A = this chain, B = another copy of it.
Amino acid sequence: MDELPGSVGTSASFSLRLGQAIFSSSSLLFMSLGVEFYSYTAFCYLVTIMGLVIPWSFTLALVDGYSVLVKCPIRQPGILMIIVVGDWILSTLTLAAACSTASVVDLLLHSHGSFCPPKLCSRYRISAIMAFFSWFLSLASSLFNLWLLPSL
């Protein structure tokens, strides 16, 4: 079986998962260190979704790290299917959260500038950007694993 870089159990996949965990954690931190996030629905949604993405990415990073160390990648179609579907659902939710946050930040900055202290708003913006990065990496993982699926 030839190894596809980026699929479960390779070092590329380990880097992708680590990137997801780092970006989603920093998105959560930048958002929740401000004290006003619970007054906006979109920001609460982002915090909820990031609370789902972080354990998922972290667990799969551990699985990948273990697979790389013992040189025994996962090749069961059932498990791979669960990982692909889970990744895909979480990446859709992350995209939705990132877009909502970005549009609310944009509205706060431009239309009603007085309602948003610049320090808080730039923090919200960084949080949205981090969520977009997390979405991109999660999508990449899902596509790599989907590519591997028919060859099993």
Where the two chains meet, the residues of A that have a C-beta atom closer than 8 Å to any C-beta of B are: 39-42, 92, 95-97, 99-104, 106-107, 110-112, 115, 150
- Main DSSP-derived SS at the A contact region: helix
Interface core residue of A100, A111, A112, A115 (most chain B CB under 10 Å): A100
- The answer to whether A103 and B150 have CB atoms under 8 Å apart is no
**Chain B residues with CB under 8 A of A96:** 95-96, 99
CB distance from A135 to the nearest CB of B (A): 10
- The answer to whether B150 and A106 have CB atoms under 8 Å apart is no
- The answer to whether B106 and A103 have CB atoms under 8 Å apart is no
Known: A39-B111, A104-B107, A112-B112. 4 other contacts (CB 8 A): A42-B106, A95-B99, A101-B103, A103-B104
Residue of B whose beta carbon sits closest to that of A91: B92
**Chain B residues with CB under 8 A of A41:** 103, 106-107, 110
**Chain B residues with CB under 8 A of A104:** 103-104, 107
**Chain B residues with CB under 8 A of A100:** 99-100, 102-103
What is the bound-complex CA distance between A39 and B112, given in angstroms?
12
- From B39, B99, B111, A40 is in contact (CB under 8 Å) with B111
**Chain B residues with CB under 8 A of A115:** 111-112
What is the bound-complex CA distance between A107 and B95, given in angstroms?
19
**Chain B residues with CB under 8 A of A101:** 103
